[in-house]
Copies of this chain bind each other. A is one copy, B any other.
Amino acid sequence: MTASSHQLSALAEVRAIDALTAGFPRHPDQWNAPHTSDAEIVRLQPLGSDTYLAATIDGITSEITGGFYRDLYTAGWVLVQANLSDLAAVGAAPIGLMLALSLNTSISDNARLSQGITDALVASGVPVLGGDLNDSQAPSLTACAIGLVQGRVVTRIGIQPGDTLWTTGPLGTGNALAIVRMMGLPDGLCPEAAYRPQARLTIGASVRPFAKAMMDTSDGPMSTLDHLARLNNVGWAVGFDADALVETTVLQAFRSAGLPVWPLLCGEHGEYELLIAVDPADEAALRAIAPTAVKLATATTEPGITLHLPDGRTLAFEGDFIRNLAARTNGDWAAYAAEFQAYGARLGLG
């Protein structure tokens, strides 16, 4: 690994975004720089010095066309939760969602989509403000979540060596579904109906006084951790223990089927938990707010991610390998799966 592999620019996605957006004008009162926050944060000057708008926009398309979600209920549910999760990661109080739905309006499945959106909104106590409906053969769903932050702002930036990183809940449910679909495994191994992530809005808002940084696991736990390392110029010593980290039902199902469990943590289809970095002195406060929180890693001065396995081995994990895999295999999911597995085997995770 060269030094530059620890930088943000080692990621194909970051380079593509930067190339496309280089000329776009920015807001003079925007708090965050590109890539450094789950939601965009802008100080609302007319409304006082400590009031910030928080906004995020996120779509569900490839998860439907790629066959990960066969029930539009799931797509509707995740559309809502994915956007709210970004607000949770900056501790914002949601105002509401804007929806842009491109649908084949003549099919009856749209009632499932509508129900999934409704149930996710009701579960989160968040309204829809409005939207746009378009006719299209392949469904493409986009939402923009808008909220407010008053007081201290938390982004992905602020982690120092010695800080500890916690997940708000069990990991692996998103990757379990993605693996079942990509490998053509039986649906019953990990039913789609069990994948109902829930944005951690209350926890995100409550830890804002002391959290050093936050980011949700929408792109999978290890990719999230990798991103936080690059942005904060730290490394991570990760307690890579599936028994402590992975959701029990999914872990048992994978073990019973003789499947490796490390992809549940290293894949890129997430579960929308928050990863929260705190000073060790604030760990008790975090656990009081989030009793299900589990410690995942400790920040190190040396860059790079080191996995500490339960059997005592330590492995150097290259976050950019998996994070660049989709761009490198360019839509060839069989090649993606093969390279993914080969990487784990090479590392000694198999």
Contact = CB atoms under 8 A, between A and B. Distances in A.
A102 B26 contact: no
Contact of A100 (B44, B59, B115): B59
Contacts of A179: none
Interface in A93-134: 95-96, 98-102, 105-106, 110, 113-115, 117-118, 121-122, 126-134
18 contacts: A17-B133, A19-B114, A25-B121, A25-B122, A30-B127, A42-B129, A44-B148, A47-B48, A55-B130, A56-B98, A56-B130, A57-B142, A59-B102, A62-B136, A98-B144, A100-B144, A132-B142, A142-B142
Interface in A232-282: none
A111 to B, nearest CB: 8
A115 B24 CA distance: 9
A339 to B, nearest CB: 17
Contact of A132 (B25, B59, B99): B59
A57 B115 contact: no
B118 A148 contact: no
B57 A132 contact: yes
A85 interface: no
Contact of A55 (B22, B105, B146, B331): B146
Indicate how many identical chains form the complex: 2
A25 B102 CA distance: 20
B56 A331 contact: no
A318 interface: no
A128 to B, nearest CB: 4
| Contact count band on A | 35 or more
A290 to B, nearest CB: 25
Closest 5 CB pairs of A and B: A144-B144, A40-B130, A57-B98, A40-B129, A23-B118
A15 to B, nearest CB: 10
A118 to B, nearest CB: 4
A310 B96 CA distance: 48
A95 to B, nearest CB: 6
B20 A133 contact: yes
A312 interface: no
Interface in A30-51: 30, 34, 39-40, 42, 44, 46-48, 51
Nearest to A82: B132
B150 A46 contact: yes
Interface string A52-68: 01011111011000000
A346 interface: no
B136 A61 contact: yes
A104 to B, nearest CB: 10
